[in-house]
Amino acid sequence: MKKLILCSFIACVMFACSSAKKANPTAAVSDTTKVTDTTQLAGSWELNYVAGSTAVDSLYPTKKPVINFDMAAKRVSGNTGCNSFNGPLMVTGHKIDFTGPMALTKMFCTGQGETVFLDNLKKVNTWSVSDGNTLNFIMGDIAIMRFTKK
């Protein structure tokens, strides 16, 4: 009885292994294209628009937030207009995620600028670059933050 069960198990495993899907070479090309698209993110970007805010200049009177992408090291860093931050860059194609752990300095900040920046950053799920110098952070289908290439 044990031999019958063992033989049945081995036959099932062999059948499962032989019916695995083969890799699609065209899928690999499209994935490579998505990866090369992320090079558009590289460099420094300065915030110029936040959804729901009256004006970026009034929200950040002394220093506008900046975000930097180091594609080689897969790191993101920047300044919230008050404190500095850095962490791992989690980007695949045009999907981006800022919900992971980030290091943040803890200086006292006046106003709501830093809170608005960080809260909106966590809502972003995709990105796009238009005209080579405008970075859009998108939630769903709405651009909630825009940056200008520095």
CB 136 within 8 A of CB 130: yes
Q: H helices then E strands: how many in the chain?
A: 4, 10
Q: Is residue 116 part of a domain?
A: yes
Interatomic CA distance for residues 80 and 98, integer angstroms? 14
Q: Is residue 97 part of a domain?
A: yes
How many domains does the structure of the chain reveal? 1
Domain that holds residue 111: 40-149
The C-alpha angle with vertex 121 and arms to 116 and 125, in degrees rounded to 5, equals: 140
Its pTM surpasses 0.75: no
Q: Is residue 19 part of a domain?
A: no
Q: Residue 94 sits in a domain of what CATH number?
A: 2.40.128.270
User: pLDDT by residue (tens digit) across 81-124?
Assistant: 999 999 999 999 999 999 999 999 999 999 999 999 999 999 99
User: pLDDT by residue (tens digit) across 16-68?
Assistant: 445 444 443 333 333 333 334 789 999 999 999 999 877 899 999 999 999 99
Q: Is residue 50 part of a domain?
A: yes
Q: Is residue 20 part of a domain?
A: no
Task: Collapse the DSSP code of 136 into the 3-class scheme (helix H, G, I; strand E, B; otherwise coil) and give the result.
Answer: strand
Q: Is residue 14 part of a domain?
A: no
The CA–CA distances, whole Å, from 95 to 5, 21, 62, 130 equal 47, 26, 31, 16
